[in-house]
Structure 1
Amino acid sequence: MEKLRLIFTYLFAILLIGAGINHVINPAAYASLIPAWLPLNATNYFTALVEITLGGGLVFTGTRPWAAIGTILLMIFFLPFHLYDVFREHPAVGSTLLALIRLPLQFVLIYWAWFVVPKAR
């Protein structure tokens, strides 16, 4: 089970770091996800920094518990934005169906982050 947990940990780290890098390389892709009341560029780059930091934190055993908990909190923080997207006339992800599919995926990510939290021995 520990090997599986480690594999999922590294996969989640790659996912987070990749998403963070994508925020920097392709910021326009995230523009419609960021609410109008938040500063677009600052929010986008801050999110990139947080995702890259958490992903990097998952790689190292000393920071892994805190990075996993931070990832759980980040995914919970994103949840209302994904819920809001479901009810928008033009969802950021393209269609209402995709927004509906994406919403439960957020819960999968929350569970995934919980799964990689190192267990007490």
Structure 2
Amino acid sequence: MEYIFLGLKILMATVMIFAGFYHFYKPNFYNPIIPDFLPKKLVTYVSGIVELVLGIGLFIKGYERISAYGIFILMLVFLPIHIWDATREKPAMKTKKIAYIRILIQFLLITWAWYLYQNELT
């Protein structure tokens, strides 16, 4: 069971680090999902930095638990944006079906981060 937890933690860290880097590699990718009233580049870069820091934090002894909690909170913050996108006539996720699947993925990420937070021993 310990190896499964470690694998889930490494996979979550990898997902977060990759997502964080992607915010800088392809920042315009995120423009359609960010509401127009928010500064798109700022939101993209700040969220990318936060994802990078939290992903790296899962690898640093003593910071694993707070990083998992930070990911949990970040995924909760992103949830309304994905719900808003799914309700639009033309979702950024291209189709309503994909937008609703993205919401389910968001709930998976929330649950996954909470599991890591609850089970981290540090």
TM-score w.r.t. length of structure 1: 0.95
- Where does structure 2 lack aligned partners over 5 or more consecutive residues? none
Partner of 1:18: 18
Q: CA RMSD in A?
A: 1.3
The question of whether the paired residues in 1 share the 8 Å contact of 2:24 and 2:45 is answered with yes
The 5-angstrom pairing of residues 1-121 of structure 1 reads 1-117=1-117, 118-120=119-121
Counterpart CA distance in 2 for 1:115 and 1:86 is 26
- Where does structure 1 lack aligned partners over 5 or more consecutive residues? none
Q: Match for 2:19: what amino acid?
A: A
1:61 Cα shift? 2.5
SS in 1 for 2:58: helix
Counterpart CA distance in 1 for 2:40 and 2:95 is 22
Counterpart CA distance in 2 for 1:25 and 1:119 is 31
Number of paired residues?
A: 121
Pick which of 76-85 and 109-118 moved more.
109-118
Percent identity over the alignment? 38
Counterpart CA distance in 1 for 2:95 and 2:113 is 27
The question of whether the paired residues in 2 share the 8 Å contact of 1:5 and 1:115 is answered with no
Counterpart CA distance in 2 for 1:52 and 1:16 is 6
Query: Which digits, 9 at most, give the CA deviation of each residue in 1:12-71, with x for residues without a partner?
Result: 000000001001000111000111111111111001000000000111121000000000
SS in 2 for 1:59: coil
